């Protein structure tokens, strides 16, 4: 197995990890959104810690994708390849900071539960600030992620490293999700809008399987 075939398989696996694990991690962290989260988070300590660990694993996968792809992409357009690396590193950093906030909420929750006569207003204010910071960072992720997807799929389309229909699906999905980011930033986030994430999510899963099974187009690698 040559190095480019290994790279394709590694990138495919990293895409699966980045998408699937971060969703699972988010499920384990749902207790922070409960009305009585200061008590609920402490009661679900192991789940929250596991959720944080999964977020860190997803972060490593997100950063690993462009690093693994860079040697291949730079042969076609080094500037765009560097741009892709930059957007995904920023995305990973944002998720990492979100994970730190999650652990801070856990620490605050434990302190609240273990304090004999807790000052409820202090803990509620601190918790609200941490939750607001996590929400803000979650919205910020919605910018580098689709921008990175647009850069990556544009390069896939130009180089024909993968089928062009797959790159087009990624371009459409990335553009749709990027268009919703400013709306969510200003608090407009109706539930039906979440369905606009489906095209890019589906494309990344199809791309991951394609890279694992088929790899890159060999003729494009030689050009």
Q: How far is Cα 219 from Cα 145, in angstroms, rounded to an integer?
A: 29
Quote the pLDDT of residue 220.
Answer: 62
Quote the pLDDT of residue 86.
Answer: 96
150 in Cβ contact with 175 (< 8 Å): yes
Helix (H), strand (E) counts: the chain:
9, 0
SS3 2: coil
Whether 223 is in a domain gets the answer no
DSSP 108-170: HHHHHHH-SS--HHHHHHHHHHHHHHHHHHHHHHTTHHHHHHHHHHHHHHHHTSS-HHHHHHH
Q: For 71, how many CA atoms within 13 A lie in the half-sphere containing its CB?
A: 8
Whether 222 is in a domain gets the answer no
Quote the pLDDT of residue 117.
Answer: 78
SS3 215: coil
Whether 108 is in a domain gets the answer yes
Domain that holds residue 12: 3-214
Whether 137 is in a domain gets the answer yes
Q: Which residues of the chain have pLDDT under 50?
A: none
Whether 53 is in a domain gets the answer yes
Whether 169 is in a domain gets the answer yes
In total, how many domains does the chain have? 1
106 in Cβ contact with 16 (< 8 Å): no
Q: How far is Cα 153 from Cα 83, in angstroms, rounded to an integer?
A: 13
Whether 87 is in a domain gets the answer yes
Q: How far is Cα 164 from Cα 82, in angstroms, rounded to an integer?
A: 22
* Residue 173 Cα distances to 12, 46, 147, 166, 215, angstroms: 18, 35, 11, 11, 22
117 is written with which tokens?
């006569």
SS3 34: coil
Whether 220 is in a domain gets the answer no
Quote the pLDDT of residue 223.
Answer: 56
Quote the pLDDT of residue 23.
Answer: 86
């Amino acid at each position: 197995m040559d190095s480019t075939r290994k790279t394709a398989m590694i990138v495919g696996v990293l895409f699966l990890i980045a998408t699937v694990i971060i969703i699972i991690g988010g499920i384990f962290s749902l207790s922070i959104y409960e009305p009585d989260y200061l008590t609920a988070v402490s009661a679900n300590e192991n789940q929250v810690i596991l959720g944080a660990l999964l977020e860190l694993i997803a972060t490593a996968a997100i950063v690993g994708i462009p690093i693994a792809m860079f040697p291949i992409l730079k042969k076609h357009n080094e500037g765009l390849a560097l741009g892709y690396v930059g957007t995904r590193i920023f995305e990973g950093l944002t998720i990492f900071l979100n994970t730190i906030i999650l652990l801070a909420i856990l620490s605050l929750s434990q302190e609240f539960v273990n304090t004999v006569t807790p000052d409820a207003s202090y803990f509620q204010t601190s918790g609200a600030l941490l939750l607001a910071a996590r929400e803000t960072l979650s919205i910020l992720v919605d910018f580098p992620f689709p921008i990175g997807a647009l850069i990556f799929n544009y390069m896939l389309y130009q180089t024909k490293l993968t089928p062009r229909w797959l790159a087009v699906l990624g371009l459409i999905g990335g553009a749709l999700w990027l268009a919703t980011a400013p709306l969510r930033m200003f608090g407009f986030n109706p539930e039906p809008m979440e369905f606009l994430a489906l095209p890019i999510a589906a494309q990344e899963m199809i791309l991951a399987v394609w890279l694992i099974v088929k790899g890159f187009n060999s003729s494009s690698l030689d050009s």
